Copies of this chain bind each other. A is one copy, B any other.
Amino acid sequence: MDEKILKELRLILGNEGVSTGQSVRELHSHDESFHTPVLPDVVVFPKNTDDVSRVVRLAYDNDIPITPWGVGTSLEGNPIPVQKGICMDFQGMDKVLAIRKEDFQVDVQVGVVYKELNKMLSRYGLFFPPDPGAAATIGGMIGNNASGIRTVRYGATKDCVMKIKVVLYNGDIIEVGSRARKSSSGYNLCALFIGSEGTLGIVTEATLKLTGLPIGFMALRAVFTEVIDATDTVFQVMSSGLTPAAMEFLDGDVMAVLNKDRGLSLHEKPTLLMEFHGYSDEGLKPELSFVEDICRENRCIFLDKGIGAAERTRLWEMRHLTLESIKRSHPGLMPLIMDVAVPLSRYSDMVGYIKNAVKGLTAYVFGHAGDGNIHVIVMDDPKDRARWSLVEKANEDIVLKALELEGTCTGEHGVGIGKRHFLRIEHGEGLDMMKKIKDLFDPKGLLNPGKFFL
């Protein structure tokens, strides 16, 4: 990178805000996926929106690509700086700006890590519901429209962000959205930026919509002999009008890995984990008995259940360990993590198709079943081209099947590099309008280039 540019970056951010060190650049060359790492020319660490604005303007004036960076927990290559240039790391923008307890809102800089935010908010009896599992930043979650286990009840990131501050391609700063709980004023630009992975502008601050921590808890672990009985149960629970706060499916292989890695002794069979929240433990009892009925009607062979927060924790602990346990059980191999979602009525079909498609691969099937979202982790060696092409073929087949079933190519991991070639099939001519919007918001194509569009 031109020494003149580095000098200007240092003028804006100070020496400590600009790094060209090899190890720092390497750290910012990859996410948690198998996608090929690319080293940025320089990594910068802004402290506030004004810093971001000045860096973006400099990049714009000098035609330098700029890729925003949270903590690199993405799974589709979303933050890899494929055209090099500037990587903008938000770790220095980790301030909680205001807690508006009375409005169930919090204002944050986007470098805040959501797990730490929720730990802090718990003191106020509040939480930010989307929970991608990984230790993501709020900025990364907004970029990706992240979601997770509790989305089935509380929504994805797009449902929980009220207002954002955005730096546009030329360094201009705009605020979009409203602190009011509802508004019909103007175009919904806030929704347009959420999930755009930094390709339309760089989000620097956000007002998040919070939820009160639930008081009543009820949880179940239901075990089935056949996958289809488990997935049919998902469908029946969801379509009965119940509103679970979590509804997770884990295949028998996943349970086996958990047992081995964690020294547990759970049934190594298709399993559902469910959680319900309410205003009191007592008030949840009618739901519990109704869910039990549905499970039994679907030939559930084992049912562990409990009322109250402690029972919830007991039943759920192992779910949070899944990805880690799978990875640790296959040292030396890389995961390809698939991520499709389909309408609930198609969930059994989708899971059935997947079980066939991954035969012969080291594959673990699980997912946020209540949202029709399913993940497959396939562990293999990307350097073994023949093997890896089988893995990629399975991914492609599974995505195409999901689209055939009126689903989506990505439920929550975003487009990044890995899903670009499916957008035309999913969106048809809508993709042309997306490209026009991209060109409008990023006329020089410098904002997280190489993502979304082929």
Contacts and interface: CB of A to CB of B under 8 A. Distances in A.
B412 A184 contact: yes
Contact of A440 (B105, B152, B287, B440): B440
B279 A182 contact: no
Q: How many copies does the complex hold?
A: 2
A452 interface: yes
A360 interface: no
Given A102-B345, A212-B240, A440-B437, A184 B430 contact: no
Contact of A175 (B176, B186, B368, B428): B428
Contacts of A371: 180-182
A446 B256 CA distance: 62
Contact of A286 (B125, B146, B283): B283
A37 interface: no
A239 B415 CA distance: 37
Contact of A102 (B159, B184, B239, B279): B239
Contact of A410 (B185, B213, B290): B185
Interface string A335-350: 0000001111100000
Nearest to A101: B239
A188 interface: yes
A452 B100 contact: no
Interface size class, chain A = 35 or more
B188 A427 contact: no
Contacts of A408: 178, 180, 182-185
Given A183-B341, A286-B279, A430 B189 contact: yes
Contact of A241 (B187, B213, B406, B431): B213
5 contacts: A176-B430, A179-B406, A185-B422, A283-B286, A437-B437
Interface of A: 100-105, 125, 144-147, 151-152, 156, 158-159, 168, 172-176, 178-189, 191-192, 194-196, 200, 211-215, 235, 238-242, 278-280, 282-287, 290, 341-345, 368, 371-373, 406-415, 419, 422-423, 426-431, 433-434, 436-438, 440-441, 452
